[in-house]
Chains A and B, each alone.
Chain A
């Protein structure tokens, strides 16, 4: 394998008839392959941790008074999965009077998610917050 870095040290002139030979002056690097090469994992990604279904998951930002019971503060990012059906006690984004509101879902699995006056936008499945900005 040629190490391209060394090429830049050679004056490079595309019009020179000999520049093809200059190409060959690159250094060959060899040595011990890393013993970890077969054991490499992808770096951890917090988005993968928070999200189960990327196609149906959206981020929203919460503005309002802190909700003590579920520890949500103003400025928190809500991870909302539309495909997850809320159960009793699930935090949901509820659309009512033209606004998106954070609510604790009181219904069970079979409760209706949509009426004339309101509908459930999605279930909040996680939170993201920076402690130091």
Chain B
């Protein structure tokens, strides 16, 4: 019998910070979003203090000071490296796996497992020993049930980090699903949960036993598949290769509001560079882009402007300079003098694989300029080898749109000059 597992690192970002800070052992730790705006990760100790996920950082300052909570700006360089380590180790421990997010992976055992629970303990032990991170593992006959089992592995004290839902008998399974709210089911969002509640469907058991035709007509085929997965029928297969993105988005808010067009243009140029780099790394081309700028909606006393404008290209490209030049022209049209902007972003549209690109019958074959292709390759190589900050467009250089990252920790695992320090 086929078996799925979902492995999920406990409080990933906060735990990564703690691994390199022995002084924070057993202490509350939280991580703030880009710009230090809101709380995006809390360890167990911070949760116990009642600090809520997504809460604005400045509203929690009292709790933070009173309890000496360690606060970090998000250091994605570190989290990404630790994630790669975890994913490599997990891949060794199952015949097939799918990286689902920075801290979660599905593992697939096509022939099942003789002793899933002890295998789960071995996974937990290995990840802990090799990386210092805690992980929870849930087993089930479908992805949806494995994810539910993972929730129990992490929340039930008796499970101690590992739970196999497939060994329960019918009575035990019914009782368990009865006790869980539908909001814990993978793919059931808040709005679905509200609408299902109106139909009297509140527990996972009720959802599992719901009328499949009614679910299909009222909620669509995706939720219908979720219900079938709760019944143990596999509907969501393994996706080993993440599908290429059809839209690529890069945006950030600024530490301080920006009124100057050149500074705003610098931010836009930067986002174009990053987005185009992502585009090339998946061997795609883009057909257009949207530029977005907005003022700070949390300061209603200021005059507000939210502007976005789309530019389509006459032919698809992966050339940063082509998009950057047009993006700055679009920005100049969008920009209003006297407004204080807080955020800027770029989205690439109609992204498609470079190899699929249709050549125009009446155009010469040579669509892209080989010298510009070589230039883009060189830019990517330099950025990869020496860091993104070492090669920039001149238009990125205006200062004043930096992020607020006041509590950033070192990149312990990827920079020679930021290594953890050991004394005698």
Q: Which residues does A use to contact B, with CB under 8 Å?
A: 4, 7-8, 14-15, 17, 19-20, 23, 53-56, 58-65, 67, 77-78, 82-83, 93, 95-96, 98-102, 119, 121
Would you give the 0/1 interface string for B394-424, flagging 1 where the beta carbon is closer than 8 Å to chain A?
0000000000000000001100100111111
B422 CB contact (under 8 Å) in A14, A62, A65? A62
Q: Show 14 A/B contacts (Cβ-Cβ < 8 Å), sorted by A.
A: A14-B364, A53-B130, A55-B131, A56-B85, A56-B130, A56-B131, A58-B420, A59-B419, A61-B421, A64-B422, A67-B424, A98-B23, A100-B22, A102-B422
Q: Which residues does B use to contact A, with CB under 8 Å?
A: 22-23, 25, 85-86, 88-89, 129-132, 364-366, 369-371, 412-413, 416, 419-424
**A-B contacts besides A20-B364, A20-B366, 19 pairs, CB < 8 Å:** A14-B366, A17-B364, A19-B364, A23-B366, A55-B85, A56-B85, A56-B130, A58-B413, A59-B416, A60-B421, A64-B424, A65-B424, A82-B130, A95-B25, A96-B22, A101-B422, A101-B423, A102-B424, A119-B22
- Chain B proximity of A3: nearest CB distance (Å): 13
Identify the interface centre among A58, A78, A82: most chain B CB within 10 Å of its CB.
A58
> A55 and B130 in contact (CB under 8 A), knowing A63-B422, A77-B419, A102-B423?
yes
Residues of A within 8 A of B370 (CB): 4, 7
Residues of B within 8 A of A82 (CB): 129-132
- Chain A proximity of B144: nearest CB distance (Å): 29
- Chain A proximity of B369: nearest CB distance (Å): 7
Q: Closest chain B residue to A56 by CB distance?
A: B130
Q: Are A61 and B369 in contact (CB under 8 A)?
A: no
Identify the interface centre among B130, B131, B365, B371: most chain A CB within 10 Å of its CB.
B130
- Chain B proximity of A75: nearest CB distance (Å): 11
**In the bound complex, CA of A129 to CA of B86 (Å):** 29
- Chain B proximity of A99: nearest CB distance (Å): 6
Residues of A within 8 A of B416 (CB): 59, 77
- Chain B proximity of A59: nearest CB distance (Å): 5
Q: Are B364 and A60 in contact (CB under 8 A)?
A: no
**In the bound complex, CA of A85 to CA of B371 (Å):** 53
A63 CB contact (under 8 Å) in B364, B413, B423? B423
Q: Closest chain B residue to A76 by CB distance?
A: B422
Q: Closest chain B residue to A65 by CB distance?
A: B424
> A83 and B129 in contact (CB under 8 A), knowing A20-B365, A100-B22, A121-B22?
yes
Q: Are A83 and B419 in contact (CB under 8 A)?
A: no
Q: Are A83 and B422 in contact (CB under 8 A)?
A: no
- Chain B proximity of A37: nearest CB distance (Å): 25
> A95 and B22 in contact (CB under 8 A), knowing A55-B85, A56-B131?
yes
**In the bound complex, CA of A59 to CA of B130 (Å):** 14
**In the bound complex, CA of A14 to CA of B368 (Å):** 9
**In the bound complex, CA of A58 to CA of B421 (Å):** 12
- Chain A proximity of B374: nearest CB distance (Å): 9
Q: Are B132 and A14 in contact (CB under 8 A)?
A: no
Q: Closest chain B residue to A78 by CB distance?
A: B422
Q: Are B419 and A99 in contact (CB under 8 A)?
A: no
Identify the interface centre among A54, A65, A93, A121: most chain B CB within 10 Å of its CB.
A121
B22 CB contact (under 8 Å) in A4, A62, A78, A99? A99
Residues of A within 8 A of B424 (CB): 62, 64-65, 67, 101-102
**In the bound complex, CA of A58 to CA of B420 (Å):** 9
Q: Are B412 and A63 in contact (CB under 8 A)?
A: no
Residues of A within 8 A of B89 (CB): 55-56
> A63 and B369 in contact (CB under 8 A), knowing A14-B364, A53-B130, A55-B130?
no
> A100 and B421 in contact (CB under 8 A), knowing A19-B364, A56-B85?
yes
**In the bound complex, CA of A100 to CA of B419 (Å):** 12
Residues of B within 8 A of A62 (CB): 421-424
- Chain B proximity of A27: nearest CB distance (Å): 16
Identify the interface centre among B22, B371, B416, B423: most chain A CB within 10 Å of its CB.
B22
- Chain A proximity of B23: nearest CB distance (Å): 3
Q: Are A100 and B131 in contact (CB under 8 A)?
A: no
Residues of B within 8 A of A61 (CB): 419-422
Q: Closest chain A residue to B88 by CB distance?
A: A55
CB-CB nearest 9 A-B residue pairs: A98-B23, A64-B424, A95-B22, A56-B130, A55-B85, A61-B419, A100-B422, A64-B423, A60-B420
Q: Closest chain A residue to B423 by CB distance?
A: A64
**In the bound complex, CA of A91 to CA of B22 (Å):** 18
Q: Closest chain A residue to B27 by CB distance?
A: A98
Identify the interface centre among B365, B412, B422: most chain A CB within 10 Å of its CB.
B422
**In the bound complex, CA of A77 to CA of B23 (Å):** 22
**In the bound complex, CA of A28 to CA of B95 (Å):** 47
**In the bound complex, CA of A82 to CA of B235 (Å):** 39
Q: Are A93 and B130 in contact (CB under 8 A)?
A: no
